Structure 1
């Protein structure tokens, strides 16, 4: 009888500790994007912990050239996100970062963390969610209203677990 209780406790403890309490929230999560540029540009490449900005090496995501391309992650848990770090493959201009509970990647329901997001090709920039972070399960980076492609070599988000 004691062994069963121990097993139940271990399972419950592991489930309770399954979310990140600190560090990069984009670590080991699910990423999606509006399209795939070619066989190397998978959405997951932007969260592979590889900061290589040479697209041909297979560590960057890339959409096709389309209207309003987007890239999104599901944190699986609710977090208060304070900082987003983006390493661009190609130049990113006039993008926006949204965070919230809507899983619709084109949704305007999620709150803007940062707009007018611009990152030169091959460079990294930090963006702060104002005024004091944003709560949500989903984060989307998009370039609304423009026909272009979106290439991200690494995306990181930092914050704290914030259950409902």
Structure 2
């Protein structure tokens, strides 16, 4: 009876852990963000993962690079995740043509990772969600390859589950 009771308890704990890890929380909030350059002191990369959906960069709510060739923004999620979707909140047309990348490599600042989606347009002040179909990656990049432009991102929300589940479920 003790073994059966222990197995049932383990199954309950594993089921609860799996439900807690469903992609309903924004895993980007605990990441570390960086970008190719910083436009000003109030436009750092961390602004795009602060949970603030405000699209007014002058209030310190968006990240923004200087005008440069191939600007990029990246978040390190600190461990690999199976990423289901990424929601991006934008201000203006600064992301048109950008690639949304997911992977585990820092080659080329992470800009050589596989493509989840290409951002054709996001309405000014709007949010658009991109399906990544559980691509695995520790790094998520937004990359304007071979374009001379600014890169402005107001918020990046990433939803997924850890790549490896620590719990051995039956």
TM-score, with length taken from structure 2: 0.78
Alignment of 1:41-60 (within 5 A): 41-60=43-62
Q: Does structure 1 residue 119 correspond to structure 2 residue 122?
A: yes
| Higher helix content, 1 or 2 | 2
Residues 91-122 of structure 1 deviation map (CA, whole Å, 9 limit, x = unaligned): 12111111111023544541100024422321
| Residues 1:65 and 1:116: Cα distance change in structure 2 (over 3 Å) | same
Query: Residues 74 and 110 of structure 2 are in contact (CA less than 8 Å); yes or no, is this contact kept in structure 1?
Result: no
The superposition leaves residues 100-155 of structure 1 with CA deviations (integer Å, 9 ceiling, x where unpaired) of 110235445411000244223211101111xx321011110111111001111110
Match of 2:139, SS state, is strand
Task: Tell me if the contact between 2:100 and 2:119 (Cα under 8 Å) persists in the aligned partners.
Answer: no
Task: Give the structure with the larger strand fraction.
Answer: 1
Rounded Cα–Cα distance in structure 1 between residues aligned with 2:151 and 2:55: 13
Q: Secondary structure at the match of 1:83?
A: strand
Unaligned runs of 5+ in 2: 1-16, 166-170
Q: 1:124 and 1:154 mapped to 2: Cα distance?
A: 9
- Normalised by the length of structure 1, the TM-score is 0.81
Larger radius of gyration: 2
Greater shift, 73-82 or 103-112, is seen at: 103-112
How far the C-alpha of 1:27 sits from its partner, in A, is 1.2
C-alpha offsets along residues 55-79 of structure 1, whole Å, 9 cap, x if unaligned?
Answer: 1111100000001110000001110
Structure 2 vs 1, CA of residues 53 and 128 (structure 1 numbering), >3 Å: closer, same or farther? Answer: same
Q: CA–CA distance in 1 between the matches of 2:122 and 2:30? A: 24
